[in-house]
Amino acid sequence: GQQVMQIPQYQHVQEGEDFTTYCNSSTTLSNIQWYKQRPGGHPVFLIQLVKSGEVKKQKRLTFQFGEAKKNSSLHITATQTTDVGTYFCAGQTGTASKLTFGTGTRLQVTL
Amino acid sequence: AAGVIQSPRHLIKEKRETATLKCYPIPRHDTVYWYQQGPGQDPQFLISFYEKMQSDKGSIPDRFSAQQFSDYHSELNMSSLELGDSALYFCASGRAGGEKLFFGSGTQLSVL
């Protein structure tokens, strides 16, 4: 079945440092979404990428979708303590199909 | 704005008992998804519905069943509970067409 892997599993950075998480799918995706889950919370939608090679920015966050639509990345510039949480990518192979979550990257930010 | 509502928030059951989890999606959302998340794990897809019909099925045990009712709320029924069923169960709703999902706060199920 479809597998979505993320690396790293865990990253600890100091506030102000940059952070990147990478997402790789075993199958070609129709779209990829990114979610953030705070400790004890539920996943919250961040963004959706649909086009091959697409790049989207949200303030300090930059999201990329690979040319082959099988991988994606999330880069956070100058992390803040509010960025703490687990970041999941999640892929779909068709509209209204299941959303398969990646293994997640847990980000810890300290002062 | 209305969010996805799940009940109960917490549920404690014993082995071999049954449990029913409820989900009320955001109004006018036509898809509902159920996920199971173990501690430190990623959400695992269980089952989904589109316009009250099952649209996709994941790693859902035969002991579990789910349905979506005419008012669009959904229920996940779990029988013969096992210790390994202890997890956080999320319901999410959205609109078909690949749009984002909105997650409920989840039901924490503990099987003793």
Q: Is the pLDDT of residue B58 over 70?
A: yes
pLDDT tens-place string over residues A89-110: 999 887 657 889 999 999 999 9
pLDDT tier at B98, thresholds 50, 70, 90: low
Q: Which of B9, B42, B52 to probe the A interface (max A CBs under 10 A)? A: B42
**Interface contact flag, A42 B106, Cβ < 8 Å:** yes
Rounded to an integer, what is the distance from CA A78 to the centroid of its chain?
Answer: 17
Q: Domains of chain B (ranges plus CATH)? A: 5-111 (2.60.40.10)
> Closest partner residue to A42 among B50, B99, B104, by Cβ?
B104
**B69: its two tokens:** 């009712």
Coil, strand or helix at B18 = coil
pLDDT tens-place string over residues A33-83: 999 999 999 999 999 999 999 999 999 999 999 999 999 999 999 999 999
How crowded is residue A43: how many other Cβ atoms within 10 Å of its Cβ? 29
Dihedral, CA of residue A87, residue B26, residue B12 and residue B86, to nearest 10 = -40
Sorted by sequence, the CB contacts under 8 Å of residue B60 that are 6+ apart come out as B34, B46, B47, B66
Domain ranges of chain A: 4-110
Distance from CA of A61 to the nearest CA of B (A): 18
A9 inside 8 A of chain B by CB: no
Q: Are A109 and A83 in contact (CB under 8 A)?
A: yes
Write the CATH number of the domain with boundaries A4-110: 2.60.40.10
A95 or A84, higher pLDDT: A84
B6 or B97, higher pLDDT: B6
A85 inside 8 A of chain B by CB: no
pLDDT tens-place string over residues B60-88: 999 999 999 999 999 999 999 999 999 99
Rounded to an integer, what is the distance from CA A111 to the centroid of its chain?
Answer: 23
Contacts of A102 in chain B (CB under 8 A): 42
Dihedral, CA of residue A1, residue A35, residue B19 and residue B2, to nearest 10 = -140
